[in-house]
Amino acid sequence: MELLKKTFSLVILGGVIAAACGCGPSAPIVLKDRPDGCLWNHSGGSPERSSYSDISFSQQPGLLWVRKFKYPLHIEPTGALGFLLISTPDNKLHVVSANNGDIYAEISFKEPVMAPVVISDSMAVLNIGGYRLMVENWVDRQQLWEADLNGAGGEPLVLGDKLIWLDGMGYLRCFDISQGKRIWDRKIDRTVSAPVSGSELGILIFPDDGVLECFDPRSGRLLWSFDTGARIRNAPVIVEDQVIFCSADGQAARVNLVSGQTVWYHDLKLPVYGPIASDGQGVYFGTNNRFIVRLDFETGDIVWKNRIAGPVKAGPALTEQMAVFTSIDFNVYFVDKASGLVKNKFKTDGMISTRPITCQNKIFVVGEDMNLYCFGLPEE
Amino acid sequence: MQRRLLVASGIICLILLSAITSHAQYYFGQNKIQYTRFDWQVLTTEHFNIYFYPEEKEIADAAAQLAEESYDFLQEKFNHTIEKKVPFIVYSSPVFFEQTNIIPGLLPENVAGFTEFFKQRVVIPFNGSFADFAKVVRHELVHVFTMQKIAYVAKMHRRTSVATPPLWFTEGLAEYWSDGWDSQADMFMRDMTISGRIVSVDELYSISGTFLMYKVGQSLLKHIGETYGDDKLADLFDNWWKGKTFSDNIRITYGKTLSEIGAEWEYDLKKTYYPYLQDQELPDRIADKLTRDGYNLKPAIFTRNTVDGPKEFIAFKTYRMGYSKIAEMPLEGEKSHFKTLIKGGRSEQFESLHFTESGLDANDDGMLAFASKNQESDALYIYDTDRRKIVNKIKSDSLIAISSPAWSPDGASIVIEGMTRGGRSDLYLVDIESSSFSRLTNDIYTDKNPSFSHDGQFIAFSSDRGISGRNGARNLYLYHLDSGKISGLTSGDHIDSYPQWTKDDKRIVFCSDRAGVMNLFILDRLTESSIVSHQLTNFVTGIFDPVLASSDSSVVFSAYQNFGFHIYKMDLPDSSKYDLDEPVEIADLWNAGETWKMPKLDGQLAQGSAKYKTQLSFDIAQSAVSYDALGGTMGGLQFAMTDILGNHQWYFLLYNTANTKSDFLSSVNFGATYMNKTRRVNFGAGIFHFYNEYAENYYGYVAERTYGGLLAASYPISRYRRLETSLYLRKLEKQSTISNDPARRTNATTGTMTISYIKDTSIWDPTGPIEGTRVNIGMTQSVRLKDLNYYNSTYNVDFRRYFRLGQASAYASRFMYLHSAGQDKQRYYLGGSWSLRGYPRREFYANNMLLVNNEIRFPLVNDLFIGFPFGNMRFQAIRGALFFDVGNSWETNKEMAENPDYGSKGVVGSLGFGIRASLGYVTVLRFDFSRRTDFKSVQNKYDFDFFFGWNF
């Protein structure tokens, strides 16, 4: 089985390289199976984007290897079938082995990739320079279609065969992901900082004025709105039909995605700038004023709240036992989910402004010190 | 050739002259004097290196703690971590701060701190107030974070250049994230809004660099932060690499243009402040405005016997014409009489009157007490208003600063606010007869605005010793002279200041911002143990410095309105007009236990302290390569290195002028100079080797090689005067490349001694000096080293005087005589816009030159903005000039004297008019229209000359 997986991976790799050379397989590969437990990097809020992975470590994971790049890494990587897609400021997207950090391919663009790559099967959705939305088959490197983003900076939302995007002109647009055909548009007349999120039950927009709106993914029709009284600038988490968000002003709430009814709402006075994560039992996040927090999923009460040395700009990644936080104080914090205690702290050489991701039973962190760090347990 | 000469000479001059003293490079200039030699230490914390001297250890510890707290705060605000330790240099007093060598120029008095760009050193003084200090620490750290964040974002996104943030934004952000919104900021914005003169975002350039810009910037940033969130400001910095301009970055981050945000802000201001006029008044609607021009503060009342009997006058501080003064006017105002008593910043005796910080007081005999900077420290002066002269000057060895003197009722003593070398600000009693100082308070709290009761038993003063004082609150207290006890008069988290007793000592008039901005209040001492305060005025802007007049029936004060401070007078208002506070027991107000402590450095943060060691690092490094079709190629580099404190300075210059490979070694030019500025006498040494070929009027085309060494020293007698001397030992080889005439060949090893006396009291407007005196008198003597025989000498006299005629007009005169004698004489050019106008540059050339310039300077246009296709150009000041110049140039060398090109043409002159247009700090454009005269006739036509450069 292991040999088959490796062979399969090599075929994919061959396809990528061949595509870069101008030739390759004629049909895209359907990548529905995720044998390596890689977390698809969908945009914030989709059910898969809860940042929870069922990776379990029998003991404290340690540093396995480090891969140095030529430039600071400040865009969150995407894990896909044993590879990591990492973008760098020199307008390149690197396909890196999650096993050993070897760079298998580099794809060049005219402008830098501005947001984490979103993968859907063989399709990679890229924000190029903030001006172009490009959908490319990352296996055979065939560009499928592109659209004008008008200056949008964020990540898209992929729901099945739909790609939903908020462009720089304030339009929420829904495309067919494989053909790029526009399905519907809707004008959002407000400034939005948080990425689009949602599930098949609804698409969520968090404008800066705090009025949360939910739209029908099929038609773009407004389903409900809710004045959160808060500024959300990060990706909420969606667990089944529940959406939980935390605001930059310190509020946290859980809302029913179907009805828009509030389940709980707390003014925690904890400013949250980065995405949050949930495993269905707790809600985990780091704050700008140096706290790491777990809320009870059902009640929103604080289970634990502990102080760390630096502000947290990005959200945590979750495994069975741990919540892994990063901070601009150069550290990666491995925190016990039950107690909130920092079990291990790893110091890098630069600020970390992105979430860790999990792939192949490992945890990956990219830093502004130009390094890709891989944490896990040594293979026996 | 000539271009190379120009470049080479310019470089030589820059490197040598700039290395000697920072002021000598300007030929005139005022002096920054290092009066004190500090024993520097370094305290290391997690993120900072704090440089301090032992006398201010307490302040250094507090600085370290405050800096680390601010670091955490700003790390969250900017989403940025600074890896390298930030150098933080602390001075215990503004007086010492002004001596810093970290930046070369003189620091204006009200600079509260600065962050230097090259090494990002933060330099701040302690002014006696812990709260002020905390704000400045954070303010400067905002600049450090701003610079580093922008540089980091640019580097991370591979941008070699990004937009420069406008000054209003960087200072506004620093104020917003350090100051909190206080009554002073509110006062400025209220006035600006209510006067109908809101400075829009598109017009912010017009107030660039002013204090108003700081407050307007703060208000704008406050609006942006409160409306869109401080996290969006962090986003703005993260997006900095995306836009070509600052406006682009605003649009990218906020989805709106800067103009749109500005319009929102203006609307917000109007909504906030217009309603105040419902219940509040402007000062000039209620009180009589007594002053007309300038900024006016700190009134004091005195009585003079006049022909009509005793009459009350007001002595006050005023800032007009570019410097501060103490002036007098009657109670009716300056329109009937205005006289300058003392000029500040014009002489060594009154180097600075501390315009905003220190008040005045007069006693019943008409003796005016005030403080002024005199050499290193402040002196207390007594001025007789009848005889119009200084009658006493008192200094203390232990006090570096003195302010806000107040007479005792018997006139035998004065209470002052004094600051020690260690930075402590306390009350002192000065005995006039013995000139002795007795310390009244002795603690870390700042004690200001003392005022004697008329029975001589108490001193009321404002202090931050209350529990809210750590945040900047000040309340009123009583010092009991019999016991030394201190009791409270007011309390609360606001500022109470400027207490003034009524004649019966039953009430105290004071200013307070407890109701929003500074207004007048009165304390009624109901009994010995209880008091009540009433609000007397309800002005919408702020009032300060109240003083009672006319037997307590009227009050004179300064107030802010229409962007200025003026002195006003009104009848003392009825205290029953506004709501009464409840009476309070004095015992409940405050006791000595309810106070705050100076923060001590958290043990975990301190990493140790050590003696300062001089370590050099680069300040600047530049290189250039040029090619000239005639002159060939030239390339070189120059760099400067200094230590952290700027006390040790190294300058290096290296370039090559070779035309061929074989010339390479012989065409190496280098200069290295070291300057030591740790002491009052700045001294330096250097070595050099220069080779150049150029055209010269006497030698023709010349090849010149000179090499040697120099020693130099500069002694500042005062801020305005100094002596300079230098000794050069050099070998000079110079010969014409087109003539074998031995007279055009020089080969000498000489020692040259120079000595100069420089004086500069000039004040400038945008085009040049407009008042004061500039003098440069010097001589050099050179001897041949082999036999110590006389070689040559030069003498120069340059005397300039500027007589002020009006705000922007003056009569300027210059007398200049230059003479050179001996071998290899120096020759001087005469002619051109910088010397004898109406004649081409370098028209005359001889070893003797005499020049007299006379010029009337006057304003034409104050501000001109022209929109060109390539962008806008602003001419800040366009001035006119009428001039009359006289000059003569004569040669003692017989051969040259007979040459019609160089021989003397006798005394010649020119008269005409000119226009000067200032381009800010860059330069001044000069347009001259002249008619020549030989003093027998005047030329008919006008010659036109265009050039650049400041007025003489």
Give the mean pLDDT of A316-325: 91
Estimate the crossing angle of helix B246-254 against helix B230-238, to 10 degrees.
130
What span, in angstroms and rounded, lies between the C-alpha atoms of B65 and B294? 41
What span, in angstroms and rounded, lies between the C-alpha atoms of B265 and B794? 63
- Smallest Cβ–Cβ distance between A273 and the set B156, B228, B231 belongs to B231
pLDDT at B587: 65
The alpha carbon of residue B268 and the mean position of all alpha carbons in its chain are separated, in whole angstroms, by 34
Interface probe for B, chosen from A313, A329, A348 (most Cβ of B below 10 Å), is A313
Contact A71 B79 (CB under 8 A): no
**Taking Cα atoms as reference points, which of B474, B498, B494 lies closest to residue B130?**
B474
Instruction: Say whether residue B252 is in contact with chain A using an 8 A CB cutoff.
Output: yes
Ramachandran category for residue A229: left, alpha or beta (phi over 0 → left; psi -120 to 50 → alpha): left
Interface probe for B, chosen from A149, A193, A251, A308 (most Cβ of B below 10 Å), is A193
Lowest mean pLDDT, pick from A87-96, A114-123, B149-158, B825-834: A114-123
- Identify any residues that bridge with B908 across adjacent strands, giving them in sequence order: B887
Helix, coil or strand: residue B348: coil
**Which residues in chain B have Cβ-Cβ distances shorter than 8 Å to A112?**
157
Interface probe for A, chosen from B73, B74, B81, B227 (most Cβ of A below 10 Å), is B81
CB B950 within 8 A of CB B914: no
Distance from CA of B471 to the nearest CA of A (A): 22
CB A363 within 8 A of CB A375: yes
Instruction: Say whether residue A74 is in contact with chain B using an 8 A CB cutoff.
Output: yes
Contacts of A91 (CB under 8 A, 6+ apart): A108, A109, A110, A111, A112, A113
Mean pLDDT over the full length of chain B: 90
Instruction: Say whether residue B231 is in contact with chain A using an 8 A CB cutoff.
Output: yes
Using alpha carbons, list the distances in angstroms from residue B120 to B50, B77, B85, B349, B406: 13, 19, 10, 35, 42
B600 pLDDT band, cuts 50/70/90, is confident
Ramachandran category for residue B451: left, alpha or beta (phi over 0 → left; psi -120 to 50 → alpha): beta
- Smallest Cβ–Cβ distance between B79 and the set A72, A249, A313 belongs to A313
B180 pLDDT band, cuts 50/70/90, is confident
E strand spans, B424-535 = 425-431, 436-439, 447-452, 458-463, 475-480, 486-488, 496-501, 507-512, 519-525, 530-535
Residue-range domain boundaries for chain B: 163-278, 304-311+345-352+359-573, 761-948
DSSP A98: T
Q: Name the burial class of residue B663, with classes exposed (0-12), middle (13-18) and buried (19+) by CB atoms within 10 angstroms of its CB.
A: middle
Q: At CA A291, angle to CA B224 and CA A37, rounded to 5?
A: 105
Half-sphere exposure for A292 (CA within 13 Å, toward CB)? 28
Strand ranges across the sheet with A197-199: A197-199, A202-205, A211-215, A222-227
Residue A184: CB atoms within 10 A of its CB come to 17
Q: Is the pLDDT of residue B127 over 50?
A: yes
Distance from CA of B616 to the nearest CA of A (A): 27
Give the mean pLDDT of A111-129: 84
B4 pLDDT band, cuts 50/70/90, is very low
pLDDT at A233: 83
What span, in angstroms and rounded, lies between the C-alpha atoms of A171 and A163? 13
Phi, psi of B306 (to 5 degrees): -120, 175
Torsion from C-alpha of B935, B940, B946, B951, nearest 10 degrees? 40
For B83, nearest residue in chain A (alpha carbons): A350
CB A376 within 8 A of CB A60: no
Instruction: Say whether residue B232 is in contact with chain A using an 8 A CB cutoff.
Output: yes
Give the mean pLDDT of B814-825: 93
Tokens linked to A380: 């026996």
For A329, nearest residue in chain B (alpha carbons): B81
pLDDT at B654: 93
Instruction: Say whether residue B47 is in contact with chain A using an 8 A CB cutoff.
Output: no
Distance from CA of B48 to the nearest CA of A (A): 16
Q: Which amino acid is at A205?
A: I
Lowest mean pLDDT, pick from A83-92, B841-850, B869-878: B869-878
H or E element that contains B619: strand B617-628
CB B133 within 8 A of CB B159: no
Instruction: Say whether residue A328 is in contact with chain B using an 8 A CB cutoff.
Output: yes
Half-sphere exposure for B36 (CA within 13 Å, toward CB)? 21
Contact A328 B79 (CB under 8 A): yes
**Which residues in chain A have Cβ-Cβ distances shorter than 8 Å to B72?**
290
Instruction: Say whether residue B235 is in contact with chain A using an 8 A CB cutoff.
Output: yes
Give the mean pLDDT of B577-584: 66
Q: Is the pLDDT of residue A22 over 70?
A: no
Please name the CATH architecture into which domain B761-948 falls.
Beta Barrel (2.40)
pLDDT at B576: 66
E strand spans, B146-191 = none
Q: Is the pLDDT of residue B23 over 50?
A: no
Distance from CA of B43 to the nearest CA of A (A): 22
pLDDT at A135: 86
pLDDT at A265: 95
A380 pLDDT band, cuts 50/70/90, is low
Distance from CA of A3 to the nearest CA of B (A): 40
Q: What is the percent of chain B with per-residue pLDDT over 90, rounded to a whole number?
A: 72
Give the mean pLDDT of B394-407: 96
A11 pLDDT band, cuts 50/70/90, is very low
**Is 2.130.10.10 the CATH classification of the domain at A2-21+36-376?**
yes
B188 pLDDT band, cuts 50/70/90, is very high
Contact A191 B255 (CB under 8 A): yes
For A152, nearest residue in chain B (alpha carbons): B252
Q: Note the pLDDT tens digit of each residue in B606-646.
A: 678 889 999 999 888 888 888 877 667 778 899 999 999 99
What span, in angstroms and rounded, lies between the C-alpha atoms of B459 and B473? 20
Instruction: Say whether residue B242 is in contact with chain A using an 8 A CB cutoff.
Output: yes
Greater model confidence, B884 or A166? B884
Contact B80 A351 (CB under 8 A): yes
What span, in angstroms and rounded, lies between the C-alpha atoms of B117 and B48? 17
Residue B880: CB atoms within 10 A of its CB come to 15
Give the mean pLDDT of B424-438: 96
Give the mean pLDDT of B933-938: 92
Contacts of A61 (CB under 8 A, 6+ apart): A322, A334, A344, A362, A363, A375, A376, A377
Give the mean pLDDT of A189-213: 86
Q: Is the pLDDT of residue B940 over 60?
A: yes
What span, in angstroms and rounded, lies between the C-alpha atoms of A97 and A82? 6
Beta carbon pairs, A and B, within 8 Å: 51
**Which residues in chain B have Cβ-Cβ distances shorter than 8 Å to A207?**
none
Q: Is the pLDDT of residue B404 over 80?
A: yes
**Taking Cα atoms as reference points, which of A215, A232, A335 lies closest to residue A275?**
A232
> What counts of helices (H) and strands (E) characterise chain A?
1, 32
Contact A71 B156 (CB under 8 A): yes
**Which residues in chain B have Cβ-Cβ distances shorter than 8 Å to A353?**
79
Q: Name the burial class of residue B599, with classes exposed (0-12), middle (13-18) and buried (19+) by CB atoms within 10 angstroms of its CB.
A: middle
For B256, nearest residue in chain A (alpha carbons): A191
**Which residues in chain A have Cβ-Cβ distances shorter than 8 Å to B79?**
273, 288, 311, 313, 328, 353
Contact A330 B80 (CB under 8 A): no
For B252, nearest residue in chain A (alpha carbons): A151
Helix, coil or strand: residue A177: coil
Q: Which residue has the tokens 């800032």?
A: B319
Instruction: Say whether residue B626 is in contact with chain A using an 8 A CB cutoff.
Output: no
Distance from CA of B157 to the nearest CA of A (A): 6
Q: Note the pLDDT tens digit of each residue in B410-420.
A: 999 999 999 99
Using alpha carbons, list the distances in angstroms from residue B142 to B67, B72, B135, B253: 11, 12, 11, 20
A38 pLDDT band, cuts 50/70/90, is low
H or E element that contains A255: strand A251-256
ipTM of the complex: 0.87
**Is 2.120.10.30 the CATH classification of the domain at B304-311+345-352+359-573?**
yes
pLDDT at B603: 67
pLDDT at B473: 94
B836 pLDDT band, cuts 50/70/90, is very high
DSSP B34-84: -------EEEEESSEEEEE-GGGHHHHHHHHHHHHHHHHHHHHHHT----S
Contact A311 B158 (CB under 8 A): no
Residue-range domain boundaries for chain A: 2-21+36-376
**Taking Cα atoms as reference points, which of A330, A321, A339 lies closest to residue A365?**
A330
Contact B158 A89 (CB under 8 A): yes
Which of the following CATH numbers is that of domain B163-278: 1.10.155, 1.10.390, 2.60.40, 1.10.3470? Answer: 1.10.390
Tokens linked to B781: 């003597």
Radius of gyration of chain B (CA): 31
Distance from CA of B233 to the nearest CA of A (A): 13
Which residues, numbered 81 to 110 in chain A, qualify as contacts with chain B under a Cβ-Cβ cut-off of 8 Å?
Answer: 89-90
- Identify any residues that bridge with A173 across adjacent strands, giving them in sequence order: A165, A185
Q: Name the burial class of residue B817, with classes exposed (0-12), middle (13-18) and buried (19+) by CB atoms within 10 angstroms of its CB.
A: middle
Q: Note the pLDDT tens digit of each residue in B369-399.
A: 999 999 999 999 999 999 999 999 999 999 9
Contact A328 B157 (CB under 8 A): no
Instruction: Say whether residue A130 is in contact with chain B using an 8 A CB cutoff.
Output: yes
For B241, nearest residue in chain A (alpha carbons): A89
Instruction: Say whether residue A300 is in contact with chain B using an 8 A CB cutoff.
Output: no
**Which residues in chain A have Cβ-Cβ distances shorter than 8 Å to B76?**
288-290, 311
Q: Is the pLDDT of residue A269 over 70?
A: yes
Lowest mean pLDDT, pick from A138-152, A332-346, B124-138, B535-549: A138-152
Contact A311 B76 (CB under 8 A): yes
Tokens linked to A244: 């939980």
**Taking Cα atoms as reference points, which of B522, B398, B501 lies closest to residue B456?**
B501
Using alpha carbons, list the distances in angstroms from residue B78 to A323, B150, B228: 25, 10, 15
Contact A231 B231 (CB under 8 A): yes
Instruction: Say whether residue A289 is in contact with chain B using an 8 A CB cutoff.
Output: yes
**Which residues in chain B have Cβ-Cβ distances shorter than 8 Å to A289?**
76
Tokens linked to B853: 């310039």
**Which residues in chain B have Cβ-Cβ distances shorter than 8 Å to A231?**
229, 231
A150 pLDDT band, cuts 50/70/90, is confident
